[in-house]
Amino acid sequence: MLVELYIENFAIIEQLRLHLGAGLITFTGETGAGKSILIDAVETLLGGRAETTLIRSGADRAYVEGVFLLPKSADSPLIQILNREQLLDDPNQLVLAREIRLNGRNVARVNGRMVNVSLLKEIGEMLIDVHGQSEHLSLLHVSNHIHLLDRYAAVQDLLSAYQHTYRKLLDVRRELAELRQAEREAARRIDTLTYQLNEIEAAHLRSGEEDELLEERNRLANAEELAMLTQQALQALDEGSPEAPSAIDQFGQIVHILGSLARLDSTQSSLKDQAELLFENLSDLSRELRRYLERIEFNPRRLDQVEERLGLIHNLKRKYGATIEAVLSYAEQARRQIETITHAGERIAELEAAENRLLEELGERGMALSQKRHQYAEALASALEAELADLQMSHTRFQVDFKQKPAPDGVPVPDGRRLAFDANGLEKVEFLIAPNPGEGFKPLAKIASGGETSRLMLAIKHVLANADQIPTLIFDEIDQGIGGRVGQVVGSKLWLLAQRHQVLCVTHLPQLAAFGDQHFHVEKRVVADRTITQVFPLEGERRQVELAQMLGEVSEGTLQSAREILQSVAKLTAAG
């Protein structure tokens, strides 16, 4: 639930911090005082539109922050989202923030970390449901009606089983579509793949071959210079000249001299051993150079062959991959695709059989789901009409409309038809109301007034209170068009609803406001030639005066009426 709300430079609110508790919280004040601005600020915090017009005149930014207590269940969808996004710092508390800047940029934060607005909205929808005269009223979205009915009918097990089969069917149809498309293109595709595979296989590529060829090409292209350099090394090392004896000859003399030295001084025999080892190494080096010289090949024809082979490899790499390994991998993929296309007919037959089985299974599960929805739709209508009668809408009738659509590729049902389907079942659900006798049922989303939708939502929330997971509900001017007697009924229902949820309510009726576990007065003042909205908690005598003002001019009579309203509410709430 929402435990703290901080607003700064938002419309005519300069700075405001509210500490909120559990139960029913009521907001009262004159029209235009800023009660709706509070709701707008909350909706902005939850990911609603953030326009620069909301920034208080003279400020460069507006800021809204909310502190929420988190549900204790680790399995709650909200906790799962926070874990998924690595945003869960404190398992008990969550902080949302929204900043709107004059340059048009707005920043959303969850627990101090920047997030995109869509994620903020996804989280916000699980924290607060706002019901009033705004575009965010969930009851006006027809797509939500089926979910409200499903919560009432407790069809989660049936729906989960249906959706499991639905996902399997989608997977089968996706593979079928790919195979059928491949089959249509099979002849052309097989020709292309076969040509590519033959081209690669004819080359008899070998991993590491290109590096070897590059080395060989380098030797062939530089054979003359390599031979010259090798000969020069041999000349200096082994052959020498009259003017310059070879290194081996000179080192042979050194070995002879050190041998004589070692015979005279045995302590220096190690020097003789080192010299002999070096002499052997020089001899080995000479032999290696002669063998290398013999291998140097002056072969222009072989050079042409190597160039041609490298050109072939380059061409295959240009077509099929950056390396020989990638080209060979492409060949293997082509081979598998040829096999897949060749055997596509068999796989298509298997998938078509699987599709038919899944369609039948989906039809059975969809019908079971539909039957339970129809069964509970009448009970929901009766329960809502009873609630609406208490809310001064006694002539309003409610109905759940089910629409099924034939589809040639739909699921089979017992009467022989095939029906369209989606992830939610075999039908579309829409709530209809008949607010006036004799007018007939019409779509709720199109004809309900603001006050009617608020009261309808109150009735629905009251009926669905046990199933509803959203912790905080906000009702904006739910008392529109009703009188004091019904206001007490509405207040009583809101108070009962607040036993399972935190409920915030903006009201003009003292009979409703008196039910608040917390009561705030919203007031517009002019300070230093600037209009600001301020909010004050009301208790004791100040609350009595506020209720008396809502009844009329403050007098002993209105004060007595306010005391009587509070006493009456105290008795009702004490009785539970």
Banded model confidence at residue 131, pLDDT cuts 50, 70, 90: confident
Do residues 474 and 505 lie in contact, with contact meaning Cβ atoms separated by under 8 Å? yes
Banded model confidence at residue 138, pLDDT cuts 50, 70, 90: low
pLDDT of res. 258: 86
Tell me: pLDDT of 135 over 50. Answer: no
pLDDT in tens, 161-212: 999 999 999 999 999 988 887 777 776 777 888 888 999 889 898 888 888 8
Q: Residues 71, 454, 568, CA angle at the centre, nearest 5°?
A: 85
Separation CA 291–CA 295 (nearest Å)? 6
Tell me: pLDDT of 287 over 90. Answer: no
Pick the residue with more confidence: 458 or 80?
80
Instruction: Read off the pLDDT of each residue in 77-106 and give the average, rounded to a whole number.
Output: 90
Least reliable range by pLDDT among 110-119, 236-245, 380-389: 236-245
- Mean per-residue pLDDT over the chain, rounded: 87
Separation CA 477–CA 451 (nearest Å)? 7
The three-state secondary structure class of 110 is: strand
Tell me: pLDDT of 448 over 70. Answer: no
User: By C-alpha distance, which of 35, 20, 237 is closest to 127?
Assistant: 20
Q: Which residues of 452-475 are buried (b: 16+ CB within 10 A; e: fewer)?
A: bbbbbbbbbbbbbbeebeebbbbb
- Measured in whole angstroms, the distance separating CA 419 from the mean position of its chain's CA atoms is 31
Backbone angle region of 59, left / alpha / beta, with phi > 0 → left and psi within -120 to 50 → alpha: beta
Tell me: pLDDT of 133 over 90. Answer: no
Tell me: pLDDT of 49 over 50. Answer: yes
Tell me: pLDDT of 8 over 90. Answer: yes
Banded model confidence at residue 497, pLDDT cuts 50, 70, 90: confident
Q: Which residue has the tokens 């229902």?
A: 493
Do residues 470 and 439 lie in contact, with contact meaning Cβ atoms separated by under 8 Å? no
The three-state secondary structure class of 99 is: strand
Reading the block at residue 114, the tokens are 């920047």
pLDDT of res. 435: 81
Banded model confidence at residue 345, pLDDT cuts 50, 70, 90: confident
pLDDT of res. 136: 41
Do residues 101 and 53 lie in contact, with contact meaning Cβ atoms separated by under 8 Å? no
Pick the residue with more confidence: 357 or 233?
357
Banded model confidence at residue 434, pLDDT cuts 50, 70, 90: confident
Percent of the residues in the chain that have a pLDDT greater than 90, as a whole number: 38
Give φ, ψ of 3 to 5 degrees: -105, -20
pLDDT in tens, 346-382: 888 899 999 999 999 999 999 999 999 999 999 999 9
Banded model confidence at residue 388, pLDDT cuts 50, 70, 90: confident
pLDDT of res. 467: 59
Q: How far is CA 102 from CA 7, 50, 115, 121, 455, in A?
A: 17, 11, 20, 22, 38
Tell me: pLDDT of 433 over 90. Answer: no
Separation CA 173–CA 390 (nearest Å)? 51
pLDDT in tens, 20-40: 999 999 999 988 888 889 999
Percent of the residues in the chain that have a pLDDT greater than 70, as a whole number: 94
Separation CA 567–CA 514 (nearest Å)? 9
Tell me: pLDDT of 517 over 50. Answer: yes
Reading the block at residue 529, the tokens are 């030639």
| Entry pTM | 0.59
Tell me: pLDDT of 244 over 80. Answer: no
Instruction: Read off the pLDDT of each residue in 519-532 and give the average, rounded to a whole number.
Output: 90
Residues facing 101 on adjacent strands = 61
What single string gives the DSSP state of each residue in 392-429? T-TT-EEEEEEE--EEEEEEE-TTS-EE--BTTBS-EE
Which helix (H) or strand (E) segment holds residue 484: the answer is helix 484-497
